[in-house]
């Protein structure tokens, strides 16, 4: 099977900090074998850099958009990035 590895940057806006969003994203990443990282930004967004097979990424992003309880996602920006790095794990950056 030929791997179709892609890397995306996802920015989530709304009530996404202080509601367990990074831990939620980390658990979803494990479900779909996604590597990369999630972090809070200084302008109150959540940034996700995710790498994996295209179909897994699609399902991962669809679930991430829903967010955990108490979150309210008002906008999602997704862009494919050309990242030569190969992430081996999914990490929460602080």
* Residues designated as active site: 22, 40
Residues whose CB falls within 8 Å of the CB of residue 17, separated by 6 or more in sequence, listed in order? 40, 44, 46
Where on the phi/psi map is residue 18: left (φ > 0), alpha (ψ -120 to 50), or beta? left
Three-class SS state of 94: coil
Other C-beta atoms lying within 10 Å of the C-beta of residue 16: 24
**65, 12 in Cβ contact below 8 A?**
yes
């Amino acid at each position: 099977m030929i791997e179709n590895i892609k890397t995306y940057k996802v920015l989530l806006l709304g009530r996404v900090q202080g509601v367990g969003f990074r831990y939620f994203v980390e658990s979803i990443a494990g479900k779909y074998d996604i590597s990369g990282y999630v972090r809070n930004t200084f302008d109150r967004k959540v940034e996700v850099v995710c790498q994996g097979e295209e179909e897994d990424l699609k399902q991962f992003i669809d679930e991430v958009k829903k967010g955990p309880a108490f979150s309210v996602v008002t906008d999602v920006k997704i862009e494919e990035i050309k990242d030569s790095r190969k992430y081996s794990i999914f990490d929460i950056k602080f």
